[in-house]
Amino acid sequence: MNNKQKIWQCQKSLVTLRSIHNSITQQNILDTLLFAGQFIIGLLAIIKGADWLTDGAASIAERFGIPTLVVGMTIVAIGSSAPELVVSVVAALKGNADMALGNVVGSNIFNILGIMGITAVVTPIVVERGNVRNDVPFAVLSSIVIAITAFDTLFSPEATDNSISRTDGLLMLCMFAIFMSYTLALAGKGKASEANATANNEAEKPQSVSTEKDSDTESKPISSVLRSSLLIVIGLACLIFGGDWLVDGASGIATVLGVSQSIIALTIVSAGTSAPELAASVMAARKGDTAMALGNVVGSVIFNVFFVLGIAAAIHPLGVGGITWFDISTLLVASCLLWIFCRFGKRYLTLTRPEGLIMILMAIAYYSWLVIQA
C-alpha cells in the first residue's frame, strides 16, 4: 500500500468519524428536546391536576359542611404540595432515590432562598408573632431531621451506609401528624376568638344587614357532587401520569447530558415543582398579604419533609447517593437564616428587601456551585 492509498484511507476514516459524531450530536439534541418536552408536559399535568383535585375536594367538603379551616389545612395544603409529593413518590416507586430526595431538598432550598428572597424584594414581608414562635422553628426542625436521618454514618458509628429507612419515613409521618394536630388546635382557638368577636359585632348591627348576608351566603353556587367527583378523578389521573412523565423526562435529560440524577432533581425538577408556590407567594405579596406568602412557603417546607419525604421513604428506603452534605448544609443554613432574619433582623418581625437580596444571592451561589460540580 503506497502513501497515497494510506492518506486516502485516513481521510475516509476521518470523514466517517465526523459523520458518526454529527449523527450522535444530532441524536443527542433530538433526545434532549424530546425528554424536555416530556418533562414540561408532565409538570403542566401535575400543576393542573393538583388544581382540579383541590377544587373538587374543597367543593365536596363544602357541600357536606366540612369546616373551611379543616379544608384549608388539609386539602389545600396537600394540593399545593402535590407536585413534590407525586414526583418523590413516583421516583421512590421507580427506585430512583436521588430524584426522590433531591426533589425535596432542592424544593425546600428554592422555597426558602429563592421564593422568600424574591417575595421580600418585591415587598417587605411582615411576619406575625405566631409564625416566628411556631411555624418557622418547625421548618428549621424539618431540616435538622433530614440531616440526622440521611447521614447515618455521621451521627451513628454503627451505621454502614447513609439512607433514609422506612422507620425514618414513618417517624416523619408521625411528626407531620403532631404538627398538623398542633396547628389545627392553634387555628381552632384563633377561629373561636374571631367568631366570638364577629358575633358581638353582628349583635350590635341592624337585623336587616344580617338577613342580607345570610341570603347572600345561601345563594353562593356550590358545584354538584358529580362535577366535583369528576374533577377529583381527572386531577388524580393528571397527577399520576404527569408524575411518571416528569420523572422519566428528568431522568432522560440527565442521561443525555451526562449529569447525575441528583443535580437534575436539585435544579430543574425542584424549581419546576415549586413553581406554584412561587406564583402564589409573589401574588400574595403584591396584594399586601405577606403573611400568606410566608405561611405558604413555610408550610410547604414542613409538608415536603414530614409528609412527602415520609411517604416516599415508607414506600421504599432512600439511599443517599448523589445528595451531599453540602446540599443538606445549605438547607440547614437557609432555614436558620430565615428564622434569624424574621426574629433578629434589622426590623423586628419583618423580612426586609436587603435580607431578601442576601437570600437570592445565596441561591445564585448555590446553583452556580451545582453547575460547576456537574
Please tell me which residue, 167 or 288, carries the higher pLDDT value: 167
Instruction: Read off φ and ψ for residue 127, nearest 5 degrees.
Output: -100, 135
Residue among 69, 90, 49, 86 at smallest CA distance from 232 = 49
Instruction: Report how far residue 103's alpha carbon sits from residue 319's, in angstroms, rounded to the nearest whole number.
Output: 14
pLDDT of residue 20: 42
Residue of 121, 113, 43, 106 lying closest to 263 (CA atoms): 106
pLDDT for the residue numbered 261: 81
pLDDT at site 23: 47
Record the cell numbers describing residue 368, joined without a space: 452556580
For residue 278, the cross-strand partners are: none
Q: How far is CA 255 from CA 166, 208, 261, 263, in A?
A: 28, 68, 8, 11
Going by C-beta distance under 8 Å and a sequence separation of 6 or more, which residues neighbour residue 259?
374
Residue 219 has pLDDT above 60, yes or no: no
Place of cell 369546616: 67
Residue 194 has pLDDT above 60, yes or no: no
| Ordered alpha helix ranges (H), the chain | 3-63, 68-71, 77-80, 82-93, 97-109, 116-122, 129-130, 136-150, 152-155, 166-203, 207-218, 225-257, 261-264, 270-273, 275-286, 290-303, 310-315, 325-344, 353-373
Pairing relationship of beta strands 125-126 and 350-351 according to DSSP bridges: antiparallel
DSSP 288: T
Residues 20-34 have pLDDT tens digits of 445 446 667 787 888
Q: Which grid cell is 345?
A: 433582623
Mean pLDDT of the chain: 77
Per-residue burial over 39-71, b = 16 or more CB atoms within 10 Å of its CB, e = otherwise: beebbbbbbebbbbbbbbbbbbbbeeeeeeeeb
Q: Residue 187: pLDDT band by 50, 70, 90 thresholds?
A: low
For residues 137-158, give the mean pLDDT.
85
Q: Facing residues of 351 across strands?
A: 125
Lowest mean per-residue pLDDT among 196-200, 206-210, 311-315: 206-210
Sign of CA dihedral 180, 183, 189, 194: negative
Quick one: average pLDDT of 50-69? 72
pLDDT value for 345? 54
Cross-strand bridge partners of residue 126: 350
The pLDDT tens digits of the residues spanning 90-143 come to 888 888 888 889 889 999 999 999 989 988 888 888 777 766 667 788 889 999
Nearest Cα residue to 56 out of 226, 202, 196: 226
Task: Using pLDDT thresholds of 50, 70 and 90, give the confidence band for residue 226.
Answer: confident
All residues at 6 or more sequence positions from 105 whose CB lies less than 8 Å from its CB, including other chains: 146, 266, 270, 323, 327, 328, 331
Torsion of CA 256, 258, 263, 265, to 10 degrees: 20
Per-residue model confidence as pLDDT tens digits over 250-292: 888 877 878 888 888 888 888 887 877 777 777 777 777 777 7
DSSP class of residue 132 equals I
Cell 415520609 appears where? Answer: 310
Indicate the angle between helix axes 290-303 and 325-344, nearest 10 degrees. Answer: 150
pLDDT tier, 17 (very low <50, low <70, confident <90, very high otherwise): very low
Q: Examine the pLDDT at 12 and tell me if it is beyond 70.
A: no
Question: Which band of pLDDT confidence, cut at 50, 70 and 90, is reported for residue 8?
Answer: low
The whole-number pLDDT of residue 140 equals: 92
Q: How many CB atoms lie within 10 A of CB 310?
A: 27
pLDDT score recorded for residue 143: 93
Contact between 253 and 94 under an 8 Å Cβ cutoff? The reply is: no
Confidence of residue 231 (pLDDT cuts 50, 70, 90): confident
Q: Is 300 a residue whose pLDDT tops 80?
A: yes
- pLDDT (0 to 100) of residue 68: 56
Task: From residue 163, give the alpha-carbon distance in Å to each of 2, 176, 294, 318.
Answer: 63, 20, 31, 5
User: What is the band of 218 on the pLDDT scale with cuts at 50, 70, 90?
Assistant: very low
Cβ(104)–Cβ(304) under 8 Å? yes
In this structure, of 76-90, 138-152, 226-240, the range with the lowest mean pLDDT score is 76-90
